[in-house]
Amino acid sequence: KQEVTQIPAALSVPEGENLVLNCSFTDSAIYNLQWFRQDPGKGLTSLLLIQSSQREQTSGRLNASLDKSSGRSTLYIAASQPGDSATYLCASDGSSNTGKLIFGQGTTLQVKP
Amino acid sequence: GAGVSQSPRYKVAKRGQDVALRCDPISGHVSLFWYQQALGQGPEFLTYFQNEAQLDKSGLPSDRFFAERPEGSVSTLKIQRTQQEDSAVYLCASSLVLGSTEAFFGQGTRLTVV
């Protein structure tokens, strides 16, 4: 059974810092891994999706990497801004290829001005 | 519509009351998923549909929970005889095809059972 873990649970950084959020998963037979952002009281916004054949994806200041063999993904945020403050969730589809997602518990990020 | 729409956004129910939560997926999206998110936790899978067929309901916590998507578009999650432990945010997501493709989420319905 796929399990997804995110470390740390919470992170506070000053504005401008580069930072890394970590995600690990137990079953390496995944089809893709997706990173989401969730603002308080809101739904999930998709940030990046990495297919199993890819090693990384980039969008603006965000870069997500995937290492299937070690069961790890990282989300790198460059030059953090107060507007980046949110909870970041990673999710894996396991090996079922149905689109059903297994989520980590999230990392709550606070970027201080 | 442009995105996944859920209604109501907030629902307060008295214990024992039945509730119905609605999800309008992105037009043309084949797959539709329901998740439950407790406070401070990541979302947990409840059930999913391919068009009108419910292919997996293994995440539904009890037989008080029922979901349908009769015409392969709008879906309704019904909870009968609500209990306090049902209090959570219920999220709906849709994706264009069956399989592991990008999922788009709605804003969720926050259910509070008092």
pLDDT in tens, B15-64: 999 999 999 999 999 999 999 999 989 999 999 999 999 999 999 999 99
Would you state the pLDDT for residue B99? Answer: 73
User: CB distance A99–B40 less than 8 Å?
Assistant: no
**Separation in Å, CA of B80 to nearest CA in chain A:** 24
**Separation in Å, CA of A89 to nearest CA in chain B:** 7
Three-state DSSP at A84 gives: helix
Identify which of B55, B99, B105 has the shortest CB distance to residue A44.
Answer: B105
Is residue B100 over pLDDT 70? no
Would you state the pLDDT for residue A95? Answer: 67
* Low-confidence residues of chain A: pLDDT under 70: 95
A92 vs A24: CA distance, rounded Å: 10
Task: Measure Cα distances from A37 to A40, A45, A54, A91 in Å.
Answer: 10, 5, 21, 11
Average pLDDT along chain A: 93
Q: Which of A85-89, B1-5, B59-63, B96-100 has the lowest mean pLDDT?
A: B96-100
Would you state the pLDDT for residue B1? Answer: 53
A109 vs B3: CA distance, rounded Å: 26
User: CB distance B105–A36 less than 8 Å?
Assistant: yes
The residue-averaged pLDDT of B66-93 equals: 97
Task: Measure Cα distances from B43 to A19, A37, A71, A93, B63 in Å.
Answer: 24, 12, 20, 13, 20
**Between residues A77 and B98, which one has the greater pLDDT?**
A77
